[in-house]
Amino acid sequence: MTTTHPKAAFLGTGLLGFPMAERLLENGVPLAVWNRTAAKAAPLGERGARVAESAADAVRDAEVVILMLTDFPAIREVLLTQPVIGRLSGRVVVQMGTIAPDESREAAARVEEAGGAYLEAPVLGSIPQARAAELMVMAGGEPDLLDRVRPVLACFGPLRHIGPVGAAAALKLALNQLIATLATAYATGLAMVRARGVPVEHFIEIVRSSALHSPSFDRKLPRWLGRDYSDPNFPVKHLLKDVRLCRDTAAGGGLATEVLDGLARILERTIGLGCGEGDYSALAVGIEGRRGEDVSC
């Protein structure tokens, strides 16, 4: 049985947006794409997308408008100002970037005022998972609305409904603080043994065979051992954005934020040392410094 997909617009074909848009095309979703830096969206034209000249042009005849933009200021600039906001009546906006729960609720209110419907659907996973249609998609919003766009969102990977708008955004931040804390803890351990002249194999092998292990450590290990943080899946600058959102959301819930404050300082130091565009595993540079010239990021 073939599914007839609604017409969709995809705004933001950056690192993660590009392979996500590819999955929609592969599944036969009629798609218009737009990216601020036009060259990043252009190759999708060869794969069947209509490459729009502006965000307003992209949403012109779309029933579903998918956003994969950096942050809430970008969403305000692209979606919540004229002429785009004026074209949202009757359309479903699906916001898939990582933003705060309050920001997502504000976006929902603005879209609904304009006569549109809003769903948040942040994702866990990165470029390899987007290429393999294995992103974990977490939806926040009305279940009926999710049912309307389910065939489109299912192109990205397994999908689950979390709760009302804000719930999936909060869950995504809870997951991203785990990404930051686990990577920081492991990179600190590696740096400690290296600084003391202990062979790193002992650290690596003991952690791997213990209950302390996470598969994410092995994925980043080649980067840490080679101090090569180039060609990022998820850059340091975006992890800092997320850690700040986590910190503010935790503080808003009356939770301790010391760990998140410390993570933010390490990431700020990493950016100060020239690795803001590097893969987030470059947070090791904020822990141990640049160690001469042997770092690529």
Ligand X SMILES: NC(=O)c1ccc[n+]([C@@H]2O[C@H](COP(=O)([O-])OP(=O)(O)OC[C@H]3O[C@@H](n4cnc5c(N)ncnc54)[C@H](OP(=O)(O)O)[C@@H]3O)[C@@H](O)[C@H]2O)c1
Q: Which positions touch ligand X (CB under 6 A)?
A: 12-17, 35-37, 40, 68-71, 74, 77-78, 97-98, 123, 126, 233-234, 238, 242
Smallest gap from residue 116 Cβ to ligand X (A): 19
Measured CA to CA, the distance from residue 289 to residue 95 in angstroms comes to 36
* CB contact at 8 A, 249 and 173: yes
Between 74 and 200, CB nearer to ligand X: 74
Between 149 and 239, CB nearer to ligand X: 239
Smallest gap from residue 43 Cβ to ligand X (A): 13
Between 91 and 241, CB nearer to ligand X: 241
By beta carbon distance, the residue nearest ligand X is 14
Between 98 and 249, CB nearer to ligand X: 98
Task: Return phi, psi of residue 142, to 5°.
Answer: -70, 130
Smallest gap from residue 66 Cβ to ligand X (A): 12
Between 104 and 184, CB nearer to ligand X: 104
Residue with tokens 């990431």: 267
- Contacts of 54-61 with CB under 8 Å at 24 or more apart are 55/11, 55/79, 55/84, 56/83, 56/84, 56/87, 57/32, 58/9, 58/10, 58/11, 58/32, 58/33, 58/34, 59/9, 59/11, 59/32, 59/84, 59/87, 59/88, 59/91, 60/32, 60/87, 61/7, 61/32
Smallest gap from residue 71 Cβ to ligand X (A): 6
Smallest gap from residue 237 Cβ to ligand X (A): 8
Smallest gap from residue 13 Cβ to ligand X (A): 6
SS3 186: helix
Between 3 and 230, CB nearer to ligand X: 230
